[in-house]
Structure 1
Amino acid sequence: MNHPLCHLQNLRICRWGPLFALGSLLACGCTETTAPNGSLAVAPNAQAAPLEADSSLFLADYRQAFETARRENRLVLLFFTAEWCHYCHEMEEETFADPQIRQLAREFTCVRVDADQEAKLCQQFQVTAFPTVQFVSPLGAPLRRMIGKQSADQLGGQMQEILGAMARHQRDSRLIR
């Protein structure tokens, strides 16, 4: 029996469409697998290269990152993202791959926060939209937030402003002593 919308039987769209879609996914670097509930799922190939931003720019363990930032008196850049967030992937591939951003990021302790895995941290910082970049003081106090996809120029400008403010604060603190 044909699907009610398949009145164009000569094109065989409904019969072969799902197979064509699966073939397309397999060709683009995904593999067929079985989800925990037994349904068919498609996952990225294990040998696919990780995003450069993930492997060399971001720490995964935010607890360790905060401890390091506190010990070294460094600002924290939290990048709240989600696997299903299109603009988050664009920021990783474009914004965080920019040489200017990578250079500025050396002055921060950068953490990639997967919202699906770290819901409590999202609640702690009241993050409800993705992507979100949250700047945090070395002591853990929220400083400035950027919501939505940011270009390298936008993010770089904010990073420079935050670093400048931190430098002024440290200079002023020394003058008071």
Structure 2
Amino acid sequence: MTASHVTRPTLTKLAKPLRWIGAAPILALLMAMGLAFAPAGQAQELEGFWDDPFKDLQADVEQARDEGKAGVFAFFEMDECPFCHRMKTQVFTDPEVQEYIKEHFVTVSIDIEGDVMMTAPDGEQIKEKDFAFKKYRVRATPVMIFFDTEGEPALRYTGPTQSPEEFQQLMAFFASGAYKEPGMNFFKYKKQQ
């Protein structure tokens, strides 16, 4: 009679899944350190950058006009957009950008997938996603639209800027009124600077 060959789980096989339990505190510590050492702009949301949490563009246009600003800067974004994230963490956090935008614009952020009701420049009550898609055909993000002090969309830029300096040029292109010059576009404006 032959002995049957029975395999038994060895201690090593049983302990293998348990190794990760011991590693959990170390992983948690490393993740916490990563958050602690992240640049300030990435670790927290842009405090005070957006002027209008209620998304009332009609009131924003009036405010810009009353305060002598160039207009309203609307940033169309969505949560999963890496380019939006880059704009918010590397461009909008720049102190010179913040100073210039606060001096010349009223700012608002529009979630292109959002169900929050907002007020369009013409006074219409509309969901953010419908405002973005139906009124301005925003499908990809980021999209930046500068509204003049009459509530008209005067300048549209799709995609992220390459740097804070390029974003400042874009703001200056609008704020200076250069966008109104016949045959002028942002790329020509940049070359002239």
Name the larger-Rg structure: 2
Q: Which category describes the TM-score, using the shorter chain as reference length?
A: 0.5 to 0.7
In terms of mean alpha carbon deviation, does 143-152 or 70-79 score higher? Answer: 70-79
Q: Report the residue type matching 1:109 in the other structure.
A: V
Q: Which runs of 5+ in 1 are unaligned?
A: 1-8, 30-47, 170-177
1:40 maps to which residue?
none
Matched, 1:69 2:64: yes
CA distance in 1, matches of 2:65, 2:89: 29
Aligned length: 136
CA distance in 2, matches of 1:50, 1:113: 19
Give RMSD over aligned pairs.
3.4
Matches within 5 A, 1:1-177: 27=31, 50-51=44-45, 53=46, 55-59=47-51, 60-63=53-56, 64-74=59-69, 75-106=71-102, 107-117=104-114, 118-123=128-133, 124-150=135-161, 151-165=163-177
Displacement of 1:72 in angstroms is 3.5
Displacement of 1:148 in angstroms is 0.9
* Structure 1 contact 69–109 (Cα < 8 Å) conserved: yes
Q: Which runs of 5+ in 2 are unaligned?
A: 1-12, 34-41, 115-127, 182-193
Q: Report the residue type matching 1:121 in the other structure.
A: F
Percent identical residues: 24
Q: Normalising by the residue count of structure 1, what TM-score does the alignment of the two structures yield?
A: 0.62
Q: Normalising by the residue count of structure 2, what TM-score does the alignment of the two structures yield?
A: 0.58
CA distance in 1, matches of 2:158, 2:111: 15
